[in-house]
Amino acid sequence: MRNHLFIVVIVAAALCSCKGGSTLSSQEQGDTIKMKYAQLLTIVRYDDRTEVEIADPWNKGKVLHKYTLNADGTIPTKDNHRSPKLVVGTSVHCGLLEQLGKVETIKGVCDLQYVHLPRIQMMARDGKVVDCGSGLQPTVEKIISLQPDAIFLSPFQNSGGYGRVDDLGITIIEMADYMETSALGRAEWMRFYGMLVGAAEEADSLFAEVERNYKELCSKVKALAPDTHHPVLMDKMTGSVWYVPGGKSTIGRMLGDAGCDYPWATDNHSGSLALPFETVFQKARNAGVWLFRYNQPHAITYDELLTEKSAYKEFCAFKERRAYGCNTATSTFYEDTPFHPDFLLRDFITIIHPELGLGAPKYFLPL
């Protein structure tokens, strides 16, 4: 997962919230919107309001945040006849709003340099979107000048809050979708985000399409013989550490859906594992495919890999020239795949099972 995670801000005096430390409480009678895969969201609609609870991913049985929204689930605004004005600090959520036809709600973004979306970059050049600085430390003065209806921030464990943003009197919607442990669970959060900006039907329709595509790809893999499920190595060294997806992470589980023998499939971690080179080499040296992400202006080569770590040449996938790199500096990997896991699953299957004839991969390209 990308470490520079992102933000969206909500300013609404009418939006009641209560943060952290509370325990999950029983709901009064209402119409619960059923989530098929998302584990952290509870949405209940009443005649006069919609209430949303986000479960604390790090403290079982606790509530990370609770919100009271308009009856249709939209964000309360100063003028209830218009769409909300948002500050969005994540490229992935900018991309989702664009897909839902709500890009005009974005008035500010954080980490603009990481937003590889032409529409957003054009809006920034035209002065329609303001660069609000770093997602970890937003420029508070710019946020105040925009007078947004909303800030949405990505929560982190033991982060100590959101600094000066906590003191603005702005209601913060905490975007914890990245803490879901299944690809479709994270993608289903689009239904919540669509609801907030008045695009609930569009979001429900988009999610149904993503779910259908994902399941169809899984069914193609299940029809294959077990002896076609070859080992796959994921990512590469970062400094002195090799981070590999845990067996219960979204990537780890997706590799299983793609029909490979992931070396850490039986691991129970939902995040990444920080391992020394020797451990990875011992466990995955014979992997027939190597998939990794990197960030640089040009496509990486086998020779460049050896300048990073000469021992890479000992891996089977390197020797057989079956390494595939995803350049996150020149692709929309981070903008697309969190809410389109079907795109990423297709890439994995295309590479691992070329016999299915799905065409060329989109993100992970051969070196």
Per-residue model confidence as pLDDT tens digits over 133-164: 887 788 899 999 998 888 877 877 766 677 78
Crossing angle of helices 250-257/200-222, nearest 10°? 50
Query: What is the chain's mean pLDDT, rounded?
Result: 88
Cβ(150)–Cβ(85) under 8 Å? Answer: yes
Q: Which residues is 238 bridged to in the sheet?
A: 241
CA 345 – CA 343 distance, rounded (Å): 6
CA 225 – CA 208 distance, rounded (Å): 29
Predicted local distance difference test score (pLDDT) of residue 81: 65
Residue 104 in this model has a pLDDT that exceeds 60: yes
CA 97 – CA 207 distance, rounded (Å): 13
pLDDT band, very low/low/confident/very high, at 205 (cuts 50, 70, 90): very high
Sign of CA dihedral 231, 236, 241, 243: negative
| Burial label, 288 (beta-carbon count in 10 A; 0-12, 13-18, 19+) | middle
Cβ(102)–Cβ(83) under 8 Å? Answer: yes
Each residue's pLDDT tens digit, 245-257: 999 889 999 999 9
Predicted local distance difference test score (pLDDT) of residue 33: 93
- The secondary element (H helix, E strand) that includes residue 253 is helix 250-257
Cβ(302)–Cβ(83) under 8 Å? Answer: no
Cβ(35)–Cβ(166) under 8 Å? Answer: no
